[in-house]
Amino acid sequence: MMVWLILLPLLWASFAFLLGPGRGVWLAMAGLLAQLWLAYALAEEIVASGVAEHAVGGWGAPLGIDLVADGLSAAMLLLTQCVALPLAVYASAYFKRDDPAATYFWPLVGFLLAGLNALFLSADLFNSYVTLELLGLAAVGLVAAGGGAQQIASALRYLFATLVGSGAYLLGVALIYGTYGTVSTVTLTPLIGAGAPDLVWIAGGLMVVGLMLKTALFPFHFWLPPAHGGAPAPVSALLSAVVVKASFYLILRLWIGPFSSLTVAANLVVWLPALLGMLAVFWGSYQAIRAERLKMLVAYSTVAQLGYLFLIFPLLVSAGALQAVIMQVFAHGLAKAAMFAAAGTLIKATGQDTVAGLAGVAERLPVTLFAFGLAGVTLMGLPPSSGFLAKWQLIELALSQQYWVIAFVVLVGGLLAAVYVFRVLRQAFLLAPAGSVVMPVPRTLEWTAFVLAAASVLLGLRGVELMQLVGIT
């Protein structure tokens, strides 16, 4: 079942390519619907009967490649398909006929999703490298597709960042293979636990730093705002919601998997990502508060929200830490998809991408603005949203270990999020200046954003099931 989550998007992406430029919407929709069902069924299967494995080629690790689906992978797969389907509906209404950005939109999205799903299932370090490249090149392509000079420039910046990131990761994999003779994570975990020469520390450092670059953790965030802020709204939403989380997921996997014996041994190492995460929360929020363009504001908010994910590393020793961070991944994934979708609709309607230009949209596009506000509620971490649940768990874990600084950063980050969200809402409720026009927009755009935003809030009420799923290892 899990293998079909990889083959299906590859299949519909290739057939959409065969159909030709601008085609393949229905193929993609059918595929995405099937994928959502598959991801849900996989999660149910794992809850019922534990971790699922698949030995590709029938060989088994270390000779062959193993796919492993535990609670963590199943949760990420579920999030990806849950975000992708509404965004695909949104995209089908967003792109005009003959939009140059939509020429090969569906094949690119298909390869992107195949890369994501394959990454979440891989239990092989070199195979993960190939999935990272598939994912990275598809994401760059989506940013660049049909764009003007600004978009191409940000795509190039993104491309070099992602290539250097995967290059560092690959060198780390090379050193690991040289040391142990295998790249299967299942085989490696006991081997590294039994003895790690200095070379393995360097390899681990290279892999984690490379992946941090791909996750746009401060100070490696330089490429994210122009790429996410400059791409078409459905692409921005997909990239911010799930693509940056994929490399974070891989860091988490390495941290609690093959490298767990190293990270437990070194107390200081766990604080480095946490420190960068704290800086990311402050810097991203500060930039979002002073951004003039609406999509830049949302993109910088992603920089800040990614920071929270890295606060988890000092807390990973305690039970429930994995659940807290995955709750934050879900909260931000759903909310940010909604927020970028809503921002795209607002920009389409007002014809300009500035916060100042939003005056008067409150009465003309109430549904979209409400979606933006609901997503904001999740980002701020107000009850009953999933963002609240995530932050509450984080603070509880931090206090139980007396890491006051983490709790403090989480609280202040929520307040800063409130500042930039209310900046947008306040502007939207101002009276429109005379002579300004708000263009009509398709209802689909408004309601898909709303569905995603509502999901990010309502997940807070059904968080127990998700946490139960993540706990299966």
25-54: contacts with other proteins (CB under 8 A): 54
Q: How many residues bind other proteins (CB under 8 A)?
A: 82
Out of 111, 308, 313, 403, the only residue in the binding site for other proteins (CB under 8 A) is: 111
Which of 104, 124, 13, 118 minimizes the C-alpha distance to 61?
124
Binding of other proteins by 186 (CB under 8 A)? no
Which of 202, 147, 218, 137 minimizes the C-alpha distance to 169?
202
Binding of other proteins by 18 (CB under 8 A)? yes
Of the listed pieces 13-21, 40-48, 257-265, 390-398, which binds other proteins according to CB under 8 A? 13-21
What does the alpha-carbon distance between residue 402 and residue 396 come to, in Å, rounded to a whole number? 10
Which of 428, 293, 426, 437 minimizes the C-alpha distance to 351?
437
Are the C-beta atoms of 226 and 154 separated by less than 8 Å?
Answer: yes
- Nearer Cβ to other proteins (7/399): 7
Mask of contacts with other proteins, 117-146, x by CB under 8 A?
-x-------xx--xx-xx--xx-xx--xxx
Out of 226, 232, 344, 373, the only residue in the binding site for other proteins (CB under 8 A) is: 226
Binding of other proteins by 420 (CB under 8 A)? no
DSSP 69: E
Q: Binding to other proteins (CB under 8 A): which residues in 425-454?
A: none
23: Cβ contacts below 8 Å, ≥ 6 apart:
16, 106
Q: Least Å distance between CB 227 and other proteins?
A: 10
Phi-psi region of 430 (alpha: psi -120 to 50; beta: other; left: phi over 0): beta
- Nearer Cβ to other proteins (17/282): 17
- Nearer Cβ to other proteins (9/314): 9
Are the C-beta atoms of 419 and 425 separated by less than 8 Å?
Answer: no
- Nearer Cβ to other proteins (269/455): 269
Binding of other proteins by 116 (CB under 8 A)? no
Of the listed pieces 68-76, 198-206, 276-284, 414-422, which binds other proteins according to CB under 8 A? 198-206
Out of 293, 332, 364, 391, the only residue in the binding site for other proteins (CB under 8 A) is: 293
Q: Which two tokens stand for residue 206?
A: 């290279």
CB atoms within 10 A of CB 415: 11
Q: Binding to other proteins (CB under 8 A): which residues in 365-394?
A: none
Which of 10, 213, 24 minimizes the C-alpha distance to 104?
24
Q: Least Å distance between CB 179 and other proteins?
A: 6
Q: Give me the helix-helix angle, 271-290 and 404-429, nearest 10°.
A: 20
- Nearer Cβ to other proteins (118/306): 118
Are the C-beta atoms of 416 and 336 separated by less than 8 Å?
Answer: no
Of the listed pieces 286-294, 325-333, 341-349, 462-470, which binds other proteins according to CB under 8 A? 286-294
Of the listed pieces 156-164, 306-314, 330-338, 356-364, which binds other proteins according to CB under 8 A? 156-164
Binding of other proteins by 173 (CB under 8 A)? yes
Mask of contacts with other proteins, 80-109, x by CB under 8 A?
--------------------x--xxx-xx-
- Nearer Cβ to other proteins (2/276): 2
- Nearer Cβ to other proteins (168/331): 168
SS (H, E, C) 228-254: HHHCCHHHHHHHHHHHHHHHHHHHHHH
How far is the CA of 329 from the CAs of 72, 217, 248, 324, in angstroms? 11, 14, 10, 9
What is the sign of the dihedral through the CA atoms of 419, 232, 166 and 196? positive
- Nearer Cβ to other proteins (12/447): 12
Query: Could you give the count of Cα atoms lying within 13 Å of 57 in the half-sphere of its Cβ?
Result: 8
- Nearer Cβ to other proteins (128/448): 128
Q: Least Å distance between CB 154 and other proteins?
A: 8
* Torsion angle, alpha carbons of 152, 157, 160, 166, to 10: -110
Binding of other proteins by 467 (CB under 8 A)? no
169: Cβ contacts below 8 Å, ≥ 6 apart:
129, 132, 206, 207, 210, 211
Q: Least Å distance between CB 153 and other proteins?
A: 6
Q: Which amino acid is at 268?
A: L
Q: Binding to other proteins (CB under 8 A): which residues in 52-71?
A: 54-59, 62-65
